[in-house]
Structure 1
């Protein structure tokens, strides 16, 4: 069984990597830009959908607000990007958790860490869910099977990260540049077609969104404001992923800070230009996008949509409108979007284990998350992220719109606290900075981070208010629960450290007064004789063999064999009327400890080790259960005496001799 499992493990995971392979070459600007921008650029695949989906609640007329709201969202995203560019100067090896912990204290840092963990889990879930919908747009046979495609995406991403696949940088860079070329090619072609009057309407333009009951009476001033604010809160998903370059400055080529700031700025401008172009073309082609086409759309004649109508994501609709429905370039763009979303999910699979390992190093998460696997990845962190992402994908049926509503909460909460931490950092630096010019530079940086803090806080409040009833409270509750759990984990580790640390009153050379050896006897066999020999060789102050009387006939036979062999160790028989092995032994040990509390008791437990893993299923593992109970007894040491079984089948003569002996 062990060999079979090891073979399966090697097939799935591969051979172990040497620790020396852990390092990687720093990335120059041309490669760092696409590699660390995939997460931010992937939001272009679903942020426009969220804006149009919300505006559709107000009917066809409300869709005209799309480009304007898109520009506001772009402005907010650029402000956050500028704030992170300033943060990089002070914390090139930081990230939101490190910045918040250093400037606002450990518990603010834990809150930021919890928000970031939730953010990364949703990043995977949203990425694979959106990927599934884009694949269904290319391959119509997948329509209706998006949840299964998304689940498969999570599993494949997890396996790839466990194997260490994707450590190369060239292929991801080429894929991201291909996406950008196709996307901006579509935007440029669409703008030229629009100028020439040749831009075709999207297929959904023939449909009309059914207004929500709250807006059924028309769009007045207040209704427009409410709808615009809700659309803005949905579209703020565009800002997700912009923090990735700031967390990977060490992976960039020197001068690292300058390279990271360039990547941040270029990433922000690319995301801004592409989003603005997509929102403009969506308005010009009449793209309509709703949560449920069966109930949210109707034809121009007021009839329900056809049963075979399939709603594609906004970028897919635009690609078909600009390049032609089913055209190779349209399919290529949709496939490029799907690949970009996979890269974004892969980025989250790298960031989440690194974040959890840092939290574990600080004592807020289990230390198992510090362990690297065979291929140098934090395997336990990958497994935790995989499980959480699968729960979200299955629970929300891979509906991107529903997932994004919860995704944004964690993103802007971490933005807010980290920017507040930067404001406090620059305030401290300002006090210690001499010179008028230097102080003015610090004031400027503080002002940028202050604006970033105010904007992020306002967006977080808007999102929370507008999305509270849609599930935003769940995200807040999850963050609060994670902070509570991490606080208890930290308290446990602190208590353990306090108990284990040496005190001035302790003598490191102290020895126990006496040592009592107890050999647990379950049968007179080779393992028992070996345990007796080891116990006697240790020269304890006293030694006794203990037999738990589970079966009187078997006990009498054991004592008779003991006398026949003339073993020089006294035997104590413990009664067990309820046929328990551990309890009588523990009562005997406690009685011995009461009479001599300063003495040490060593229990020798003979046990045999099977040659093949499956053979362990044939044995009741009594020794393991007893050791588990004895571990909790103070003043009691356990000495395991293993007997390794060869696994060879006995000969006929040996079987006959054994039968006669029995």
Structure 2
């Protein structure tokens, strides 16, 4: 479990790094709605790299001060629980948008091969997101080796494009730019450099997303950011190389295929471009699958932290996580459709992670203030002063990013805020509901509810006198109840007569109670009979035993033997003083005739 979680996280981190390398140049190049920004590529990338380093240093400080505390836990401890739900939802919804970006990139990389029109491309991308969610919904996660095997060809292809492009550029063998499309302007201040900076901040947002370990890994919750920064420096160098080639080739701001693939169309023949596009598409699929895996791991971690129901943290709680993953997949498909441009997806991730960073840094400042108020140790007060300064600076950086996003991309900022608000409200309502239930169930007086019942009435639900019923009767007799009876509802008089004769022939030392059925209602007579037992002596309890045939053999056997009375049992569970128990009977393997 530990090694698997770590290897999947490392493979997912490699996928995020490759996605940053492939996606960031596209957002910078396409900023401005078609305006040429090649003279400002360097400035926007430099600002993005500076923010990346600042974010890395901030999370490095957090890994030193609170290595075993996640961002949402820090926010809950030093600010409030409602804001902690926002911090937790920020990472969850960021992974959702990462899935959308990766799936969109995988589909758009196939344009040299199939060439879907720009009108239906978002629909195809949304469908790809839903399709990629199926393995996670089925509890099947791709192995780390499979993910790496899909990423390596794409990484090599990027290296070939950059190195080959530089060689071709030095040899003077450039061809005409690829076919372009018209980029639509979005509402906001027409500041192309600001949009390019938003695109260049995507690596910093992904860095903040990848600073915590996966569920099940040993050690602290946080990862040493030095390793993350060391791994992302080559990515920044690759982005710079792609932007340089885009400048020297006069690559149009809007192309039918991703910008890095458009460079391949400039440098290489069509067959090579198709092969590179296939490698990029496989890499996008691998990144989306890895992101879905991280979503599942993050849900388990949030369940262990008490934000989600704790049973979701169990390794075999596939059903509960399947519902959440299905909702997330639908949300990711909607994000693909709403983020009509690469810059839209980047803006939403940057905005959401900026909110998370502002909350985390506010919690860090509150922590430093509390330490300075309560501690007299000089070293602790010095660390608190340093963390307060860092928190204020990085909080201001996060606020500036939010202001820039609102100014130049208000549409996608609003979409990102809405995407963050929905899971935040859901987590907050869920957490408050669980808190109220817990407070209601808390045992304030340990003497209440400890008096033993006067008598225990055992009732075995009977349909026919077969082996499961006989086993249930034997087991119930072994519990030594005060009274015991078999109970059948006379729905079919012929079947009831046969059951009565079989019961007498078996000479069972148990009374058989036969209830009439008004107008064919099979459940109501049983419930009324149980209530009558309770009314006669409220301090008695009634235990209902239902024989259940189970099979671990072939699926067709399970289909035919899966018969019970679930609706009746569900209603009986709501009756006070009633216990419902199932007596499983393991059917032997049935040989096919």
Q: What's the TM-score once normalised by structure 2's chain length?
A: 0.80
Report the counterpart of residue 601 of structure 1 in structure 2: 542
Question: 377-386 vs 630-639, which deviates more?
Answer: 377-386
Alpha-carbon displacement from aligned partner over 1:32-70 (angstroms, at most 9, x marks no partner): 8x974642452232233223333234x55x665544434
2:261 pairs with one of 312, 316, 325: 316
1:203: how far off? 1.3
56 and 533 in structure 1: CA distance in 2 versus 1, 3 angstrom threshold? closer
Judged with a 3 Å threshold, the aligned counterparts in structure 2 of structure 1 residues 142 and 368 are, in CA distance, closer, same or farther, namely farther
> Residues 115 and 410 of structure 1 are in contact (CA less than 8 Å); yes or no, is this contact kept in structure 2?
yes
> Per-residue deviation at 1:120?
0.6
Whole-angstrom distance in 2 between the partners of 1:153 and 1:606: 40
Q: CA 1:265/1:251 → structure 2, altered by over 3 Å: closer, same or farther?
A: farther
Measure the CA separation in 1 of the matches of 2:360 and 2:319: 28
Tell whether the 8 Å contact from 2:141 to 2:293 is kept in structure 1 after alignment: no
Structure 2 residue matching 1:241: 3-state secondary structure: helix
SS of residue paired to 1:283 = helix
More off after superposition, 90-99 vs 337-346: 337-346
State the 1:580 CA deviation: 2.0
Correspondence for 1:39: 16
The correspondence for 1:116, drawn from 84, 87, 91, is 91
Greater alpha carbon shift after TM alignment, 607-616 vs 416-425: 607-616
- Alignment correspondent of 1:165: 143
- Classify the secondary structure of the residue corresponding to 2:207: coil
Aligned residue number for residue 579 of structure 2 = 637
> Does residue 26 of structure 2 align to residue 49 of structure 1?
yes
**Structure 2 equivalent of residue 574 of structure 1:** 515
Distance 1:453 1:175, change over 3 A: farther
User: Aligned in 2, Cα 1:433/1:577: closer, same or farther, shift over 3 Å?
Assistant: same
Structure 2: gaps of 5 or more residues: none
* Residues 190-339 of structure 1 aligned to structure 2 (within 5 Å): 193=170, 198=172, 200=174, 202-204=176-178, 224-225=190-191, 227-244=192-209, 246-248=211-213, 260-290=224-254, 311-321=256-266, 323-326=267-270
1:367 to 284, 290, 310: 310
- Provide closer, same or farther for how the CA distance between residues 466 and 47 of structure 1 changes in structure 2, counting only shifts above 3 A: same
The alignment's TM-score, normalised by the length of structure 1, stands at: 0.73
Mapped contact 1:601–1:635 kept (Cα < 8 A):
yes
Deviations 1:406-429 (A, max 9, x none): 333322222222222233334445
- Distance apart, 1:619 and its partner CA: 6.3
Structure-2 change in CA distance of 1:430 and 1:315 (3 Å) = farther
Contact 1:115–1:411 (Cα < 8 Å) also in 2: yes
* 1:416–1:456 Cα contact (<8 Å) kept: yes
> In 2 relative to 1, CA 434–390 (structure 1 residues): closer, same or farther, beyond 3 Å?
same
Whether the 8 Å contact between 2:354 and 2:399 is mirrored in structure 1 is yes
Alignment size in residue pairs: 584
Listed one character per residue, the Cα deviations across residues 633-662 of structure 1 (whole Å, up to 9, x for unaligned) are 2211234344444465899xxxxxxxxxxx
Task: Please give the secondary structure, in 2, of the residue aligned with 1:640.
Answer: strand
Change in Cα spacing, 1:411 to 1:618, as seen in structure 2 (3 Å) is same
Task: Compute the displacement of 1:453 (Å).
Answer: 1.5
Q: Give the 3 Å change call, closer, same or farther, for CA 35–403 of structure 1 in structure 2.
A: closer
After superposition, the C-alpha distances for 1:427-474 in whole angstroms (9 at most, x for unaligned) are 445564755x9866654454333222111222123324544434x434
1:588 pairs, out of 517, 526, 529, with 529
Quote the residue 1:300 is aligned against.
none
CA distance in 1, matches of 2:148, 2:69: 25
5+ long unaligned stretches in structure 1 = 1-18, 215-221, 294-310, 652-662
Q: Which residue of 2 aligns with 1:392?
A: 332
Taking the aligned partners of 2:383 and 2:435, their CA distance within structure 1 comes to 41
Give 3-state SS (helix, strand or coil) of 1:42's partner.
helix
Matched-pair contact (CA < 8 Å) for 1:199–1:285: no
Equivalent positions of 1:173-188 (< 5 A) are 178=156, 181-182=159-160, 185=163
- Cα RMSD of the aligned pairs, angstroms, is 4.6
Equivalent-residue separation in structure 1 for 2:90 and 2:531 (angstroms): 49
Q: Does 1:96 align with 2:37?
A: no
* Deviation readout 1:121-179 (Å, 9 max, x if unpaired): 11122113213323444xx2465697379459835974998356106998699668746
Aligned in 2, Cα 1:331/1:382: closer, same or farther, shift over 3 Å? farther
- Cα distance between partner residues in 1 of 2:230 and 2:525: 73
Against the structure 1 CA distance between its residues 337 and 582, is the aligned structure 2 distance closer, same or farther, given a 3 Å change threshold? same
Are 1:357 and 2:300 counterparts? yes
Counterpart CA distance in 2 for 1:380 and 1:231 is 40
Q: Report the Cα distance in structure 2 between the residues aligned to 1:253 and 1:75, rounded to whole angstroms.
A: 32
CA change 1:393–1:178 in 2 (3 A) is same
Identify the match of residue 357 of structure 2 among 412, 415, 429. Answer: 415
Aligned to 1:10: none
Equivalent residue in structure 2 for 1:127, among 102, 122, 129: 102
**Contact 2:549–2:561 (CA under 8 A) maintained in structure 1:** no
Task: Tell which deviates more after alignment, 161-170 or 547-556.
Answer: 161-170
1: CA distance between counterparts of 2:59 and 2:328? 28
Separation (CA, whole Å) in 2 of partners of 1:475 and 1:136: 27
The residue correspondences of 1:494-643 to structure 2 (distance < 5 A) are 494-498=435-439, 500-506=441-447, 510-559=451-500, 562=503, 567-609=508-550, 612-618=554-560, 621-643=563-585
Partner of residue 402 from structure 2, selected from 435, 439, 460: 460
- Kindly tell me: are residues 427 and 108 of structure 1, through their superposed partners in 2, closer, same or farther at Cα, counting changes over 3 Å? same
- Tell me which structure has the larger Cα radius of gyration: 1
Partners of 2:217 and 2:156 in 1: CA distance: 22
Contact 2:461–2:547, Cα closer than 8 Å, also in 1? yes
Q: Structure 2 matches for 1:1-20, cutoff 5 A? A: none
* 8 Å contact kept, 1:186–1:319: no
Q: 1:168 to 1:379 in 2, by over 3 A?
A: farther
